[in-house]
Structure 1
Amino acid sequence: MKPFNPKPRQCKACPQTFVPVRPMQTVCSPRCAMKKVRQDKVEERAQVRTRKESIKTLPVLKAEAQTAFNEFIRLRDAGKPCICCGQPLGEGDIGGAYDCGHYRSVGSAPQHRYNELNAHAQRKQCNRWGAGRAVDYRIGLIARVGLEAVEALETDNAVKKFTAEELREIRAHFKAKAKELKKERA
């Protein structure tokens, strides 16, 4: 058996040089050992997070992007009346909740799924049980964004397939915008 001949080493947790007491020792003290364990856990969690993100399917990414977009629209339009009926949002609703309603539905115009001009806060009675109230929505939309913008929405029928990377960017973009709105209101 070869005798242990310690040579000075650089501590993995701090910039200090030390002479090891044991052959596999990589840190200079118990404090640095705890620091190294914490660093390793943080790195491991980051790797796990990256791996989980890389295996997400398009439907999952689409749902996450839609959730972030809807939250932003609800925050953006929080103080405004319903786009369809003009009543205050949440009036008559159970719990005062309201939806992010799309003028052109996501099913008929998926290219406008994340278009801010196509989505506005809408009372649940109008959006869910009133089938979106398209005629009233159009009248309210013209009042908010103008006739030209509404006609541009109605005539744009270009097919759009979102890639995984685009969906990640959309999700990050609307999460950041929602966070900014929350910070402004706080």
Structure 2
Amino acid sequence: MSKQPKCAHCREPFTRTRPFQNWCSPECGLALARKKQAQERKSLEQLERKELQVRKKALKRRNDYMREAQQAFNAYIRARDEGMPCISCDSTTTDDGLMTGSRWDAGHYRSVGACPELRFEPLNCHAQCVRCNRNLSGNAVEYRIRLVKRIGQDKVDWLEGPHEPRRWTIEELMAIKADFRARGRALKVESSRARTFVESANG
């Protein structure tokens, strides 16, 4: 005697009334049909999203890749310098009325306009309050004083020296974006672990 098949929906044994039948009742058959439709709809949506991504990528220009790489770099700088004072005025997020945590910029010592080849150099960029970076045009004199203390005179001299011109390819910009996004995620994980450790120690 052959073993009874099991319904693909409710998994109960049943007797087939037609070849290749895999459901035991009209209700289970309807449920399976709806499940199949949902899967097909999901597959279609995934395909459409992939096609949209391909079309968007085809329309992207080098400036778009540059902007995305810069955003990833700036986010990394803010994560790296979280909790540190402004590089050019020593203010912090707790200073009354000056700024909030959402108002930190990634401020370049040598500006992107003056020295574009250092735009993705972490030594050249530090967390800076909006007032110094935007209203005071970088507050360069005070920036330099504190930068020497933070990274050393030799590294500041290197930043101020000549540098080879750079023109990043699209592939390089994509790699820069991926690199700094990964670094930023790693810093956030490390910061979360440190907070958890401190909280458990204090608790």
TM-score range relative to shorter protein = 0.7 to 0.9
TM score, norm. by length of structure 2:
0.71
From 151, 155, 158, give the equivalent of 1:149: 155
Q: Is the 8 A contact 2:99 2:130 kept in 1?
A: no
Q: Where does residue 62 of structure 2 map in the other structure?
A: 58
Report what 1:110 is aligned to.
Answer: 116
More helix by share: 2
Runs of 4+ in 1 over 6 A off after TM superposition: none
| Structure 1 equivalent of residue 166 of structure 2 | 160
Deviation at 1:45, TM superposition (A): 0.8
Percent of aligned pairs with the same amino acid: 39
Matched residue SS, 1:120: strand
Checking the alignment, whether the CA contact within 8 Å between 2:93 and 2:99 is kept in structure 1 is no
1:48 paired to 2:52:
yes
**Match of 1:185?**
191
Which residue of 2 is the match for residue 93 of structure 1? 98
1:94 to partner: Cα distance: 4.6
Q: CA RMSD in A?
A: 2.2
> Residue 132 of structure 2 contacts residue 138 of structure 2 at CA under 8 Å; is this kept in 1?
yes
Residue 165 of structure 2 aligns with an amino acid whose one-letter code is: V
Which residue in 2 is equivalent to 1:173?
179
Q: Deviation digits for residues 4-34 of structure 1, max 9, x if unmatched?
A: xxxxxxxxxxxxxx96xxxxxxxxx623343
Question: Which is higher, the Rg of structure 1 or of structure 2?
Answer: 2
| Contact map agreement 1:90 1:98 (CA 8 A) in 2 | no
Asked if 1:139 is matched to 2:145, the reply is yes
Matched letter for residue 45 of structure 1? R
Structure 1 distance, partners of 2:44, 2:175, is 29
8 Å Cα contact 1:66-1:114 kept in structure 2: yes
Q: Distance in 2 between matches of 1:54 and 1:111?
A: 27
Cα distance, 1:113 vs structure 2: 0.7
Counterpart for residue 81 of structure 2: 77
Structure 1 residue 55, shift from structure 2 partner: 2.1
Residues 66 and 173 in structure 2, CA contact (< 8 A), matched pair in contact too: yes
Q: Answer whether contact 2:99 2:129 (CA < 8 A) is retained.
A: no
Moved more, 90-99 or 132-141: 90-99
The DSSP-based 3-state class of the residue aligned with 1:122 is strand
Q: In the alignment, is the contact (CA less than 8 A) between 1:101 and 1:121 conserved in 2?
A: yes
Look up the equivalent residue of 1:121 and give its one-letter code.
Answer: A
CA distance in 2 between counterparts of 1:59 and 1:99 reads: 21
Residue of structure 2 equivalent to 1:14: none
The structural deviation recorded for 1:37 is: 2.6
